[in-house]
Amino acid sequence: MRYSHLRILATVAALMLLAACGSSSAGAPAKVYKVGLVTDIGGLNDKSFNHLAYVGLEKAKTDFGIQADVVESKSGDDYIPNLTNFASKSYDLVIGVGFLMAQAVGTVSGTFPNVHFAIIDGSGTDANGNDLKHTNVESLYFSEQDAGAMVGVLSGMLEKQGKNKLNKGVISAVGGISIPPVDRYIAGYIWGSQMEDPGLKVLVGYSNDFTDPAKCSGVAKSQIQAGSDVVFQVAGGCGLGALQAAGQGGVSSIGVDADQKDADPSVIASALKKVDVATYTAIKDVVNNQFTSGTLQFNIANAGAGYQLDNITVGSDVQAELDKVMGEIKAGTLTPPSTKTWS
């Protein structure tokens, strides 16, 4: 079931719930909901989507008085045990963070059909990636291509105007693992940049890692040597190395998911993905007894995705183009691609 944009917009606009967390009768205490959050291997210090999920959890803890517990996964082998740990203790909601946890969520949600589950960037799947459509799983998806398109527009305009250092007509993206959320970001980035500068070359490389900054740094340095003026990181904690490599190489960089302006002075913008809002929404649904299985989609149209200008001041012409493109994506007259077209 797909939720209405109005429902998501209400959550984004206020991030507050006016209804009570529970009810009491005859002096009985209100129910304290228990929510368990399981990170993927990037951990809470990735300054990216795991961190944002924790921000949403903490906001819900403040607003709803829930019991909020977190466990960090150190490897993929931890996913099922960590999810099971919360589910076996009858938590009201267990949240898995990341596409890589899809099969684990599919397995554990099937074992505990009376426990609510939510997953960022995925659904509960079988070993072949097929959605099991369990009625106790809420899937929290994002149109990452929307956010990627916006930072692509910025990069393309700056390169076309000759405002970047190398000015060789080249920009780049450093992905972690080639999974759908990562590829959607990059697809939007390529599309937005080449819409502004059709002759622009976009280099794409993968570190095959989400945690080791040195691996992303190496990919970024190779791209800078090939003439890249702007490095877009789409690799979680690993991508922090790409931002730092851009700074060391004297070129610009773009953060991902959260506002990463403080990660390195080279960061001119961040592609935003409102994982905190999604996490909060899933918790709110359980607290309000409104949990519904199926898909909840976040995008520019419902303020679930976007961009942030960081360590840069742009001209009025650049800002006007950013506003125009964002308005057209929101209205549905421009649709960034969501599929991988590069090797």
Q: Write down the pLDDT at residue 283.
A: 98
Answer yes or no: is 153 within a domain.
Answer: yes
Q: Are residues 223 and 97 in the same domain?
A: no
Answer yes or no: is 308 within a domain.
Answer: no
In one-letter notation, the amino acid at residue 157 is M
Answer yes or no: is 339 within a domain.
Answer: no
Can you tell me whether residue 43 is helix, strand or coil?
A: coil
Can you tell me whether residue 78 is helix, strand or coil?
A: helix
Strand order in the sheet with 294-298: 67-71, 34-38, 93-97, 116-120, 137-142, 294-298
Which CATH number belongs to the domain containing residue 209 in this structure? 3.40.50.2300
Q: Write down the pLDDT at residue 8.
A: 66
pLDDT band at 296 (very low <50, low <70, confident <90, very high): very high
Helix intervals (H) in the chain: 5-14, 49-64, 79-87, 102-111, 144-160, 180-196, 213-225, 240-249, 275-287, 316-331
pLDDT band at 83 (very low <50, low <70, confident <90, very high): very high
In one-letter notation, the amino acid at residue 171 is I
Share of the chain above pLDDT 90, in %: 87
Q: At what angle do helices 79-87 and 102-111 cross, to 10 degrees?
A: 30
Q: Cα(32)–Cα(297) distance, rounded to whole angstroms?
A: 28
Lowest mean pLDDT among 9-18, 265-274, 323-332: 9-18
Q: Write down the pLDDT at residue 6.
A: 59
Percentages helix, strand, coil for the chain (3-state, rounded to 5) are: 40, 20, 40
In one-letter notation, the amino acid at residue 177 is I
pLDDT above 50 for 21: no
Q: Are residues 119 and 130 in the same domain?
A: yes
Strand order in the sheet with 170-175: 201-206, 170-175, 230-234, 252-257, 267-273, 305-309
Q: Are residues 185 and 325 in the same domain?
A: yes
Closest Cα partner for 301 from 53, 2, 52, 6?
A: 6
Q: Are residues 130 and 22 in the same domain?
A: yes
Q: Are residues 320 and 290 in the same domain?
A: no
Q: Write down the pLDDT at residue 121.
A: 95
Lowest mean pLDDT among 2-11, 108-117, 212-221: 2-11
Lowest mean pLDDT among 142-156, 158-172, 236-250, 307-321: 158-172
Q: Cα(220)–Cα(39) distance, rounded to whole angstroms?
A: 26
Q: Are residues 186 and 325 in the same domain?
A: yes
Q: Write down the pLDDT at residue 17.
A: 45
Q: Are residues 235 and 280 in the same domain?
A: no
pLDDT band at 157 (very low <50, low <70, confident <90, very high): very high
Radius of gyration of the chain (CA): 20
Answer yes or no: is 343 within a domain.
Answer: no
Residue 307: Cβ within 10 Å count: 25
Q: Which domain holds residue 166?
A: 144-273+313-331
Answer yes or no: is 116 within a domain.
Answer: yes
Q: Is there a contact between 251 and 165 (Cβ–Cβ < 8 Å)?
A: yes
Q: Are residues 225 and 76 in the same domain?
A: no
pTM: 0.89
- DSSP letter (8 states) at residue 44: G
pLDDT band at 25 (very low <50, low <70, confident <90, very high): very low
- DSSP letter (8 states) at residue 211: S
Q: Write down the pLDDT at residue 272.
A: 97
What is the chain's mean pLDDT, rounded?
A: 92
Pairing state of beta strands 170-175 and 137-142?
unpaired
Answer yes or no: is 212 within a domain.
Answer: yes
Answer yes or no: is 45 within a domain.
Answer: yes
Tokens 């502004």 sit on residue: 196
pLDDT above 70 for 235: yes
Q: Are residues 181 and 54 in the same domain?
A: no
Q: Are residues 158 and 111 in the same domain?
A: no
Count of domains for the chain? 2
What's the mean pLDDT in 156-181?
Answer: 91
Q: Cα(231)–Cα(248) distance, rounded to whole angstroms?
A: 12
Q: Are residues 162 and 26 in the same domain?
A: no
Q: Are residues 124 and 235 in the same domain?
A: no
Answer yes or no: is 248 within a domain.
Answer: yes
